[in-house]
Amino acid sequence: MASDNSAIMDAMLALHGAMERQGPGDDALTRRLLDRVPTLPPEPRIADLGCGTGASAMVLAEALNTPVDCVDAAHAFIAILEERAKARGLDHLIRGHVGDMAKYRHDDGPLDLLWSEGAAYNLTFAGALSAWRPVLRTGGYAVISELTWFCEHRPQKVEAF
């Protein structure tokens, strides 16, 4: 199965690696969502799970001027994230981790802010919520995006699903 997996990873990199984001949304949306998060404690523990090449993580790091753990299963995406962070002068704040976001834990304790754009579906939404609940401190915040409609009129079969 390892070769199947690496073929999928190669295809993902070829399709998405050069794009600024690997999912829907843009930096303005990330900032808008962040603006709705209540004040975080000093030196907050933050992670972006399924971060891809890190577009949202960089918005968080820049806006909050605080370190962000960036977790993705794709080694190549984390390599690109680290290059981009360096180019933006954010490499002291962006901490890339190659790994399974279902098993991630912050080294210093539960998170104050868990962020995940367009990635939770990989664990199923319910699976993501149960995997991530123990990662978040009581009273912490989670910002998680899921399925996105791009049109007003959807095929009935898709809508029903």
Residues that bind ligand SAM (CB under 6 A): 21-23, 50-52, 55-56, 71-74, 77, 100-102, 117-119, 122
Using CB atoms within 10 A of its CB, is residue 143 exposed (0-12), middle (13-18) or buried (19+)? middle
Closest distance between ligand SAM and the C-beta of residue 133, in Å? 16
3-state secondary structure of 60: helix
Helix (H) or strand (E) holding 116, with range, is strand 111-116
Looking at beta carbons only, is 41 or 127 nearer to ligand SAM? 127
Q: Which residue is nearest to ligand SAM (CB)?
A: 52
Looking at beta carbons only, is 119 or 135 nearer to ligand SAM? 119
**Taking Cα atoms as reference points, which of 82, 44, 74 lies closest to residue 60?**
44
Looking at beta carbons only, is 93 or 120 nearer to ligand SAM? 120
